[in-house]
Amino acid sequence: MKTKFIFITGGVLSSLGKGLASSSIGALMESRGLTITLLKFDPYINVDPGTMNPFQHGEVFVTDDGAETDLDLGHYERYTHTKLSQKNNCTTGRIYHSVITKERRGDYLGGTVQVIPHITDEIKRTIMELADDVDVVITEVGGTVGDIESLPFLEAIRQFKVDVGRENVCYIHLTLVPYIKTAGELKTKPTQHSVKGLSEIGIQPDILLCRTDRLLPPEIKAKIALFCNVEQDAVITAKDVETIYEVPIVFHQEGLDEKIIELLHMWTKAPNLSMWEEIVQKIKNPLDEVYIAVVGKYVNLRDSYKSLNEALAHGGLANECLVNLEHVDSEEIERNGIGDDISRADGILVPGGFGQRGIEGKIEVIRYAREHRVPFFGICLGMQLAVTEYVRNVAGLERAHSAEFDPDTPDPVIYLMKEWTNYQKETVEQRHEGSDKGGTMRLGAYPCHLLEGSFAYEAYKEEDISERHRHRYEFNTRYRELLTNKGMRISGLSPDNELVEIIEIPDHPWFLGCQFHPEFKSRPWSPHPLFREFIGASLNAKRSGG
């Protein structure tokens, strides 16, 4: 079968859920037995979001090949079985970077390099590069129609239809149909304007996804169809839902996948959504609930811990329980000590993070979890601080710290490894305090060997695993012996035994810290083993009144 292309654009305003819509369309295509991949274009100039503040841009999602990507790629991986890489996220910065590199090399010798055709060609090449092994390439264009920045991307996807033939391309536009209380009416004008904006640049949408809080009645659909020049059954209600995993189901009920395959002249198997129905059924009917305190810094912005929040919910799914999350600001703990939001928690989690703020508060909370035998899960920075806490308070080296936060500490238990094996590039790399910020991170999937009988092994039930990393500092091997003598267990190591990947306290109901980010690999249909076990342990703690 010839590869088909779906393009998803957004109108009216941001945050309508374009990423979830794209992911759900991916899920629907897979439910019909098609193979797919997803691509996200981000119109900003940064080459990737790696250096961006999570307050501004939300979580940085990491793929197996070590790409630092937009958080929408996290949704893509949670909703579909596609394997994503650097090729699946592309920014304006990356496009220009590659065009300018070619220009300097002399590839365009004699020509004037311009947005059209050089930039648009590069954009189209990026899409085409993904088309080889799949039935459908789903491309989401970031931003909102009307933005100056996204124009070259829209122009490129307009040209795309001419290049590959109209029967191979489907344009889907996500828009808003607000209900105005004072008028008691659903309003179609924002949608009309948005589609007009899109038509002006030459794109006539085939399908409209109308975000709304209620089902659109037939007369509203007819009105939108008439004014926006689409078929009435191509006006799809994208109603607010209780859980995000319901989106594929409601889209299907609205006939979205049927319409897509009709427009793209495809024949597929009948859709099978039983997996999604089961997930939603479980989410809506939990048998119990737990309360988890997540102690971090970016507490005001849920987007900065997107994958983490989802992985915790998946851990709940595996235990058929609802996970109530409270994000606790660790600076608050520094000011006022351990409060009620911590002491009533069934489990405590310290996630990854960068920067000095709130570090001592996190260490304080880890001490509390260790001493009060509350199930504890430390991720990346959370693991590093668990090690610091243990060295300080159990091994008695009071001034121990991570060299990231105290470069002059006499006991740098977490440090910059001068030389390390980069399994991604199969090279040995050098690193020092003055190294480039971008180049020195340990990024992407690394192998890890587990110790039999440990919490980690009990979770994975496998000796060899692979998990994704995004950090600069490491456990200082100099302290391994001291820590193990004092009762800490090292349960995960790199194949060369140099890098400590998992630590545990065996004499505790469940205390585990890992140097990697397991949340990136959790799926609703396949909850991550560590999240499953952590929520299970928290549930046990609650049931035993601990």
Name which position in 381, 448, 459, 539 contacts ligand GLN (CB under 6 A). 381
Taking CB positions, which residue lies at the least distance from ligand GLN? 352
Residue 353 in contact with ligand GLN, rule: CB under 6 A: yes
Q: Is 310 a catalytic residue?
A: no
Helix boundaries (H) for 9-136: 18-31, 54-57, 72-79, 92-105, 120-128
Please identify, using beta-carbon distances, which residue of 122 and 501 lies nearer to ligand GLN. Answer: 501
| Nearest alpha-carbon partner for 322 in 542, 519, 523 | 542
Up-side HSE of residue 296: CA atoms within 13 Å toward CB?
Answer: 30
**Catalytic pick from 364, 519, 528, 533?**
519
b/e map 518-535, b = 16+ CB within 10 Å: bbbbbbbeebbbbbbbbb
The residue to which tokens 């992407």 are assigned: 444
Q: How far apart are CA 119 and CA 95, in angstroms?
A: 7
Contact 346, 539 (CB under 8 A): yes
**And the tokens for 75?**
């949704």
Closest approach of Cβ 517 to ligand GLN, in Å? 7
357 binds ligand GLN (CB under 6 A): no
Closest-CA residue to 86 (of 58, 50, 115, 53): 50
Q: How far apart are CA 160 and CA 154, in angstroms?
A: 10
Phi first, then psi: give them for residue 266, nearest 5 degrees. Answer: -115, 150
Least Å from the CB of residue 157 to ligand GLN: 34
263, two tokens: 């427009």
Nearest approach in angstroms of CB 379 to ligand GLN is: 7
Q: Is 380 in the site for ligand GLN (CB under 6 A)?
A: yes
> Which window, 162-170, 304-312, 470-478, 518-526, contacts ligand GLN (CB under 6 A)?
470-478
Is residue 475 near ligand GLN by the rule CB under 6 A? no
With respect to ligand GLN, which residue has the nearer C-beta, 108 or 354?
A: 354
Q: Which is nearer to ligand GLN, 266 or 380 (CB)?
A: 380
Residue 366 CB, nearest approach to ligand GLN (Å): 14
C-alpha–C-alpha distance, residues 434 and 315, integer Å = 40
501 binds ligand GLN (CB under 6 A): no
* Binding-residue pattern over the window 228 to 257 for ligand GLN, x denoting contact by CB under 6 A: ------------------------------
CB 450 within 8 A of CB 471: no
Residue from 380, 467, 508, 528 carrying the catalytic annotation: 380
- Burial classification of residue 85, based on how many CB atoms lie within 10 Å of its CB (0-12 exposed, 13-18 middle, 19 or more buried): middle
Quick one: tokens of 271?
Answer: 């859709």
The answer to whether 100 and 81 have CB atoms below 8 angstroms apart is no
CB of 426 to ligand GLN, least distance (A): 22
Q: Which of 57, 327, 471, 517 is catalytic?
A: 517
- Check residue 46 and report its DSSP letter: S
Amino acid sitting at position 124: K
Other beta carbons within 10 angstroms of residue 316's beta carbon come to 27
Told to check if 297 binds ligand GLN by CB under 6 A, we report: no
x/- site string to ligand GLN, residues 420 to 459, per CB under 6 A? Answer: ----------------------------------------
Annotation says 331 is catalytic: no
471 lies in the site for ligand GLN, by CB under 6 A: yes
Return the residue of 173, 470, 508, 532 that touches ligand GLN, per CB under 6 A.
Answer: 470
Q: How many whole angstroms separate alpha carbon 451 and alpha carbon 465?
A: 11
Q: Does 352 bind ligand GLN (CB under 6 A)?
A: yes
Dist. CA 442–CA 423, nearest whole Å: 9
Task: Identify which range of 99-107, 161-169, 468-476, 523-531 contacts ligand GLN by CB under 6 A.
Answer: 468-476
Give the up-direction half-sphere exposure of residue 205: CA atoms within 13 A in the CB hemisphere.
32
Instruction: Give the one residue of 291, 354, 429, 480 binding ligand GLN; rule: CB under 6 A.
Output: 354
Least distance in Å: CB of 526 to ligand GLN? 23
> Shortest distance, CB of residue 385 to ligand GLN, whole angstroms?
9
The reply on whether position 108 binds ligand GLN by CB under 6 A is no
Task: Map residue 511 onto helix, strand or coil.
Answer: strand
- With contacts defined by CB under 6 A, how many residues of the chain interact with ligand GLN? 10
Nearer to ligand GLN, 212 or 515 (CB): 515
Query: Measured from the CB atom, is 252 or 471 closer to ligand GLN?
Result: 471
- Could you give phi then psi for residue 275, rounded to 5 degrees? -60, -45
The residue within the footprint of ligand GLN, chosen from 376, 423, 460, 473 (CB under 6 A), is: 473
For 516, half-sphere exposure in the C-beta direction (CA atoms, 13 angstrom radius) is: 31
Residue range at the interface with ligand GLN (CB under 6 A); choices 2-10, 161-169, 218-226, 465-473? 465-473
Contact segment (CB under 6 A) with ligand GLN among 210-218, 347-355, 389-397, 480-488 equals 347-355
Give the nearer residue to ligand GLN in terms of CB position, either 471 or 508.
471
Q: Which of 445, 377, 388, 444 is nearest to 415 (CA)?
A: 388
Residue 404 engages ligand GLN in binding (rule: CB under 6 A): yes
Interface map 113-142 toward ligand GLN (x if CB under 6 A): ------------------------------
How far apart are the C-alpha atoms of 111 and 91, rounded to whole Å?
A: 24
Q: Is 519 a catalytic residue?
A: yes
Shortest Cβ 294–ligand GLN spacing (Å): 13
**Residue ranges with strand state E in 88-234:** 89-91, 136-141, 169-176, 179-180, 185-186, 207-212
Per DSSP bridges, beta strands 89-91 and 36-42 are: parallel
Q: How far is the CB of 470 from ligand GLN (least distance, A)?
A: 5
Return residues touching ligand GLN (CB under 6 A): 352-354, 380-381, 404, 470-473
Q: Could you give the residue numbers annotated as active site?
A: 380, 517, 519
